[in-house]
Amino acid sequence: MSVRPYVDNTIAFEDFAVKENIRDIASDNLAFCMRCHIFTCAPKCGKSEDEFFGVKKTSSGKEFDNTCCGGGDTHFNDPGEAEIDCIKKLIEFKRQIIDGIRLFYMNA
């Protein structure tokens, strides 16, 4: 099983990850460029079609090269119990962001 919850790499996420004790699990499961979206990622990453499109990303205070700039920040292959708990928390974090955006526009 492979799961790729999409969570923008933001300061809010870093704070959430520390609070929920999932920072290391999320960092250990970063998604790396696999050239799966050649035409959509190339403009985002500023690379040609012949290159890997990954970007440099900082997570948990560590820098990673060639991380995915398209479909998601994390990629879990055959997740265990701790990883599934992390996935649930990532989904909850994304729900909080969506709810916050919805409230913002409802009150605008």
Q: What is the pLDDT of residues 80-89, one digit of tens each?
A: 999 999 989 9
| Domain, as residue range, for 71 | 2-107
pLDDT at 83: 93
Q: How much is the pLDDT for 90?
A: 86
pLDDT at 3: 62
Would you list the DSSP string of 41-106?
A: HHHHHT--TTS---EEEEETTEEEEEE-SSS-SB-EES--HHHHHHHHHHHHHHHHHHHHHHHHHH
46/91 Cα distance (integer angstroms)? 29
pLDDT tens sequence across 32-72 = 777 666 555 655 555 555 555 677 777 767 787 777 776 55
The tally of domains found in the chain comes to: 1
Through-space distance between the first and last CA atoms of the chain, rounded to whole angstroms: 41
What is d(CA 71, CA 51) in angstroms, rounded to the nearest whole number?
17
Q: In this prediction, what percent of the chain has a pLDDT beyond 90? A: 10
Span 22-29, average pLDDT = 86
pLDDT score recorded for residue 85: 94
Vertex 82, ends 80 and 85: CA angle to 5°? 105
Eight-state DSSP code of residue 22:
-
